[in-house]
A and B are shown apart, each in its own frame.
Chain A
Amino acid sequence: MGLTRRGFIVGGSAGAAAAGAAASGLLATGAARAADGAAATPQELERLTRPMLLHVRDAASGQVGVLVDEEELVFTDKALVARLARAVH
């Protein structure tokens, strides 16, 4: 299935949001949930009141960092990095 920019933004944002929630301790299985592509629930999104930044630390290995509040959650999500790479080309 082809990936559109809009599609990436919708899907990628949800993944990043879930990762941010994990960094805040809102999800017990945060990193895994971020990686499985599940969309954040409305309750999870509502609790993300602070800025959040996604940083691709190493594209080759799929290592991603999510900066939220005073923390950074680092996890591996090759599919997310692939969507990012396609979206910016």
Chain B
Amino acid sequence: MSSHREAPLISKDPAADNTDTYAFVTPGDTVTILTNYLPGELPAGGPNFYEFDDEVRYSIYVDNNGDGQPDVTYHFRFSTAITNPHTFLYNTGPIDSLTSANWNRRQRYRIEKVTAGGSTVLAHDVPTPPANIGPRSTPSYPNLASAAIRTLSSGEKVFAGQREEGFFVDLGSVFDLGTLRPFQNLHLLPTAAQPGVDALADANVQTIALQVPISHLTADGSVPTDPSGTNAVIGVWGAASRQRATVRDPGHANQTVGPWTQISRLGNPLFNEVIVPMSRKDAWNGSTPAGDSAFAGFVAQPELAKLLPVLYPGVFPNLAGLTADRADLLAILLTGIPAGIVPGFQNFTGTTQADMLRLNVAVPPASSPDRLGILGGDLAGFPNGRRVTDDVTTIELRAVAGLTYPLVDPSYTPDAAAGGVEDGTFATLDRNFLTTFPYLGHPHSGYLVP
């Protein structure tokens, strides 16, 4: 999936598994950043419904000078409390507010901001909403979620809690030897073409949402209006860390101690999932973007680009003959797109190769977003940051298939299929994205979507 269970170690630690990161310009000269955790939540998750882990430090990083190191960091730490020690239930009646006495297990969180100037606790004891249990337990769920949106005195808006999974992908087809629906009839082992199947259609996820004034994130504190300006681009990624040691003592809370050790990170969707070899994925999760030149070879010669002509005989002949390093992918994923490649746009951050979502904050939100982002002529979409509606699987699939290579070598002619191949789920996509913060839809109800 985007980065769900994408590496061996983190696949066994879902509460720390950063599944998706989004960053996009929003009204009011703000940037909204979303980081998701806990892949594939079954809505009917009782009695212990899904929640953040008190032992994990969840982080959002922003680089504003192109060195792949964070210049602005937000850390989120959660704490969980049981209010009624005598019941096995998550709730003993309807939860009609965030202070309901019927709600037995609730989480609050603390937000710390770190810059070169030091560390500041922006807020503590910020409430999260309950899980969406069902119409009797969590009636008027949107009201509960709205009550958990807080605007801080420092200018940020925050939300942390359960959301409808925003990522969509035909996962079953991707990992069954790349039998992309609806193109199975062209596969090496063909079957009749069928529509795509969205593997995450009924899943929920835990979301940390942060809306920040642009001026808090740029290197010079400005709100850039010229997309060509070097101060207009920021790099964003999410990460989760645990302390180095945990001591378990039955009957007592775990004791954690030692330095924070990063175990998950995510900038561009699918980077660790389909580019980094399995033997290196855990190491990548523990590293920082500043060191990503060590992985650039896997971008320059992506395994998937070699597989497509084999899996689809005769469909990608030009891609099969493309042996040069993929300068297009190196730019899109590791340095940003320089000026002069896409008219009116750049998100180049310099020569440091670093996997980050690069967002040109001078590009205003699109009035009619195109799911293909820049490939569809919409400069406000992926790979200019990433919005919740961007069809990132199709965009990256087409790029790897050679559609973007003419940007760096005009003599190359992409295969016709490179412009047509796609993840087959968008045509029947059923998501309830919001038009306002936190943009991801309200979570599926456990009662209604077991």
Contacts and interface: CB of A to CB of B under 8 A. Distances in A.
Contacts of B245: 53, 55, 67
B259 interface: yes
A85 B43 CA distance: 50
Contacts of A69: 257
Contact of B244 (A50, A52, A67): A67
Given A51-B247, A53-B245, A55-B245, A72 B259 contact: yes
State the main secondary structure of chain A at its contact with B. strand
A70 B247 contact: no
Nearest to B57: A70
A18 B168 CA distance: 53
A86 B247 CA distance: 24
Interface string B252-272: 000111111000000000000
B340 to A, nearest CB: 46
B255 A70 contact: no
Contact of A50 (B257, B259, B260): B257
Interface residues of B, number: 10
B243 interface: yes
Interface in A58-75: 67-72
A53 B255 CA distance: 10
Contacts of A67: 243-245, 257-259
A72 B258 CA distance: 6
A52 B255 CA distance: 9
A71 B245 CA distance: 11
A53 B259 CA distance: 12
Contacts of B258: 53, 67-68, 70-72
Which of B243, B255, B257, B259 counts the most A-chain CB atoms under 10 A from its CB? Answer: B257
Interface in B196-252: 243-245, 247
Contact of B247 (A53, A68, A71, A72): A53
A50 B256 CA distance: 10
A76 B71 CA distance: 35
Nearest to B255: A51
Contacts of B247: 51, 53
A85 B243 CA distance: 26
Contacts of A53: 245, 247, 257-258
Nearest to A52: B257
B256 to A, nearest CB: 8
A78 B255 CA distance: 28
Contacts of A55: 245
Interface in B118-146: none
Interface in B288-321: none
Contacts of A70: 243, 258-260
A26 to B, nearest CB: 16
A50 to B, nearest CB: 7
B244 A72 contact: yes
Nearest to B243: A70
Nearest to B258: A67
A13 B4 CA distance: 43
B391 to A, nearest CB: 40
A20 to B, nearest CB: 10
Nearest to B261: A72
Interface string B349-393: 000000000000000000000000000000000000000000000
A71 to B, nearest CB: 6
Nearest to A68: B257
A43 to B, nearest CB: 22
A69 B260 CA distance: 10
A71 B255 CA distance: 14
Nearest to A20: B257
Contacts of A52: 257
Contacts of B257: 50-53, 67-69
Nearest to B256: A51
Nearest to A67: B258
A67 B82 CA distance: 29
B212 to A, nearest CB: 25
A53 B243 CA distance: 12
Contacts of B244: 67, 72
Contacts of B260: 70
A52 B121 CA distance: 25
A41 B37 CA distance: 45
6 contacts: A52-B257, A53-B257, A67-B244, A67-B245, A67-B259, A69-B257
Interface of A: 50-53, 55, 67-72
Given A53-B257, A67-B243, A72-B259, 4 more contacts: A50-B257, A53-B247, A55-B245, A71-B259
Interface pairs A-B: 3 shortest CB-CB: A67-B258, A51-B255, A67-B257
